[in-house]
């Protein structure tokens, strides 16, 4: 059990990770443009030796159980690790727990056939290949019930037609796990299936690689794809036909909480930079840390950061306890809804304390703010997750018995008088 103090043995591991990430991994952020670009010669020279050191420490692929080559340490230990890894874009790759490969590995582990696991899962776990998850479409946004990309069986092959939008890391991937409509006449949640689609399949066209706000044109990492009679083998189906929504939950619950774990580390980085700046710079005859409004920024940031961290840790603890993502669905949605707001708030305050330097590309705050905006949309918009939380919570209550609330003071007063009528009678004035 995690009880606000990490066990000494694992804390020693975390101390090693902290120094290792700071000294060996964070410098790679400036040398390697994207963690998934595993064919980059600099990546190939520098990353595998670091991954070997992680494996020697028993910290490789901490999200996986022993049957898949991981230590099976649980979500709480993973959360404590991810807090550190969240400081660096390269760190999750070095530790074998980078998205979207982690979620795709979980799908393959749960639903893959022995042949699929040998061909795709084992190389993915070894980081010999990378993957992408392809669900969103240009017209559909956050509603997968209205997807149009379809696949039909033609002999021993699935034939895929349609468009996919925001398929992260697709241009570096070896394969995609794609959400396609195969049962158009079924009810909405039983229309789609999951297919393994090798990225270089004939008929898979990269319309363009979409970038975020400050990326140069066609150099982004969000793939806009078009499938025109793209064919994949019949055996590339994951799970049963029409089961895509069930399969998707295997990766989404874990993926959302893992993003939140890493975000704790990113928020901490912004907070530390804000505090350093506040005690280093002077204006109007005193350091910024003496200004009451700056003090308010620091205090508000620390409070929000610690509240968010505790919510993440409690959710991780509940996942370990129940081993059932459905049971902690509201917790995960709450974490997902809180995540972009906390990061945006703390990053914006840190930017403000840094003044004009804060808005330049010489500091990370603008990138953090953009990251927060992406978090508010990816894996379901914040509004959807807030609705989920509200529905889950209100389902635990029952309506009032009549016109007035159950805790209406006259009702409760009458009940109290009835409960203690004998006492009141003994003490009544005569």
Q: What is the pLDDT of residues 341-369, one digit of tens each?
A: 999 999 999 999 999 999 999 999 999 99
- Could you count the other beta carbons within 10 Å of the beta carbon of residue 69? 16
Contact 65, 73 (CB under 8 A): no
Residue 238: partners with Cβ closer than 8 Å, 6 or more residues away? 107, 108, 111, 112, 116, 177, 193, 194, 195, 196, 247
Q: Which residues fall within 8 angstroms of residue 244, CB to CB, at 6 or more apart? A: 179, 180, 192, 193, 194
For 94, 139, 140, 343, the CA distances from 146, given in Å and listed in that order, are: 37, 9, 6, 31
Band (pLDDT 50/70/90 cuts) for residue 146 is very high
- 143 located within any domain: yes
For residue 244, is the peptide bond before it cis, meaning its omega torsion is within 30 degrees of 0? no
- Give the pLDDT of residue 3: 76
Tokens at 161, concatenated? 């037609």
| pLDDT 10s digits, 61-108 | 998 877 777 788 889 999 999 999 999 999 999 999 998 998 899 899
- The answer on pLDDT for 16 being more than 80 is yes
Shared domain check, 381 and 259: yes
SS3 112: coil
d(CA 91, CA 325): 26
Q: Are 261 and 373 in a shared domain?
A: yes
pLDDT of residue 255: 80
- Measured CA to CA in angstroms, residue 222 lies from 116, 160, 168 at distances of 26, 20, 4
Q: Check whether residue 224 and residue 275 sit in a common domain.
A: no
Beta carbons within 8 Å of 55's beta carbon, 6+ residues apart: none
Which CATH number characterizes residue 303's domain?
1.20.140.10
The residue out of 98, 114, 141 marking a domain boundary is 98
Predicted confidence band at 37 (pLDDT cuts at 50, 70, 90)?
very high
The pLDDT of residue 1 is above 70:
no
On whether residue 158 sits in a domain, the answer given is yes
* Cβ-Cβ contacts under 8 Å for 297 (sequence gap 6 or more): 274, 349, 352, 353
- Same domain (yes/no): 159, 261: no
What pLDDT, on a 0 to 100 scale, did the predictor assign at position 217?
72
CA-to-CA distance for 378 and 416, rounded, in angstroms?
51
Q: Does the pLDDT at position 422 exceed 80?
A: yes
Weakest-pLDDT range from 5-19, 86-100, 146-160, 213-227? 213-227
CATH number at residue 22: 1.10.540.10
Average pLDDT, the chain: 94
Angle at 193 between CA 191 and CA 194, to 5 degrees: 155
- Whether residue 204 sits in one domain with residue 274: no
Residue 283 shares a structural domain with residue 202: no
Q: Examine the domain organization and report whether 268 and 350 are in the same domain.
A: yes
Bridge partners (DSSP) of residue 286 are 283
Q: 362 and 317, same structural domain?
A: yes
CB 107, CB 133: distance < 8 Å = no
Q: Of 98, 123, 150, which one is at a domain's C-terminal end?
A: 98
Once rounded to an integer, what is the mean pLDDT over residues 109-125?
Answer: 94
Give the pLDDT band of residue 218 (cuts 50, 70, 90): low
Q: Are residues 256 and 216 in the same domain?
A: no
CATH number at residue 231: 2.40.110.10
- What pLDDT band is residue 2 in, cutting at 50, 70 and 90? low
Q: Are 250 and 234 part of one and the same domain?
A: no
Structural domain span for residue 210: 131-238
| Residue 142 lies inside a defined structural domain of this protein | yes
pLDDT band at 141 (very low <50, low <70, confident <90, very high): confident
Residues 169 and 215 in one domain: yes
Total domains present in the chain: 3
Is it the case that residue 216 has pLDDT exceeding 80?
A: no
- Find all residues with CB under 8 Å of 12, minimum gap 6, and list them: none
- pLDDT mean over 18-34: 97
Q: Sign of the CA dihedral 94, 99, 102, 105?
A: negative
Answer yes or no: do 200 and 224 share one domain.
yes
Query: 251: pLDDT confidence band, cut at 50, 70 and 90?
Result: confident
User: Angle formed by the axes of helices 244-280 and 292-322, to 10°?
Assistant: 150
Question: Domain ends where: 98, 114, 142?
Answer: 98
With pLDDT > 70 as the criterion, what percentage of the chain qualifies?
A: 99
Mean pLDDT across the stretch 307-332?
93
Q: Which pLDDT band, with edges at 50, 70 and 90, does 153 fall under?
A: very high
């Amino acid at each position: 059990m995690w009880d606000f103090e990490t066990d000494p043995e694992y804390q020693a591991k975390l101390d090693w990770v902290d120094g290792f990430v700071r000294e060996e991994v964070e410098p790679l952020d400036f040398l390697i443009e994207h963690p998934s670009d595993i064919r980059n010669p600099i990546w190939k020279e520098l990353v595998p030796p670091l991954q070997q050191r992680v494996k020697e420490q028993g910290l490789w692929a901490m999200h996986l159980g022993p049957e898949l080559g991981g230590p099976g340490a649980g979500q709480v230990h993973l959360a404590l690790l991810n807090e550190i890894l969240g400081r660096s874009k390269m760190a999750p790759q070095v530790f074998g727990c980078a998205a979207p490969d982690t979620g795709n590995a979980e799908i393959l582990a749960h639903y893959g056939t022995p042949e699929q696991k040998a061909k795709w899962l084992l190389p993915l776990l070894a980081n010999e290949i990378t993957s992408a998850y392809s669900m969103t479409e240009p017209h559909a946004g956050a509603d997968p019930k209205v997807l149009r990309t379809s696949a039909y069986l033609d002999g021993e092959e699935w034939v895929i037609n349609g468009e996919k939008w925001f398929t992260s890391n697709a241009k570096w991937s070896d394969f995609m796990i794609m959400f396609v409509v195969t049962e158009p006449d079924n009810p909405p949640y039983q229309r789609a299936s999951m297919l393994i689609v090798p990225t270089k399949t004939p008929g898979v066209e990269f319309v363009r690689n979409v970038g975020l706000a400050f990326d140069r044109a066609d150099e982004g990492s969000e793939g806009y794809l078009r499938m025109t009679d793209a064919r994949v083998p019949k055996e590339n189906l994951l799970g049963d036909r029409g089961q895509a929504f069930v399969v998707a939950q295997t990766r989404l619950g874990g993926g959302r909480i893992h993003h939140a774990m890493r975000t704790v580390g990113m928020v901490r980085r912004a907070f530390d930079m804000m505090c350093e700046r506040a005690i280093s710079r002077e204006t109007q005859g005193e350091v910024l840390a003496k200004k009451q409004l700056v003090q308010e920024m620091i205090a508000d940031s620390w409070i929000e950061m610690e509240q968010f961290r505790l919510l993440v840790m409690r959710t991780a603890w509940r996942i370990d306890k129940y081993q059932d993502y459905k049971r902690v669905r509201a917790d995960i949605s709450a974490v997902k809804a809180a995540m972009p707001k906390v990061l945006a708030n703390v990053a914006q305050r840190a930017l403000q304390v840094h003044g004009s330097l804060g808005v330049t590309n010489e500091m990370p705050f603008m990138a953090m703010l953009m990251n927060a905006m992406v978090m508010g949309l990816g894996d379901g918009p914040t509004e959807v997750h807030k609705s989920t939380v509200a529905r889950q919570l209100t389902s635990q209550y029952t309506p009032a018995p009549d016109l007035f609330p159950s805790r209406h003071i006259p009702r409760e007063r009458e009940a109290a008088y009835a409960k203690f009528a004998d006492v009141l009678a003994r003490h009544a004035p005569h």
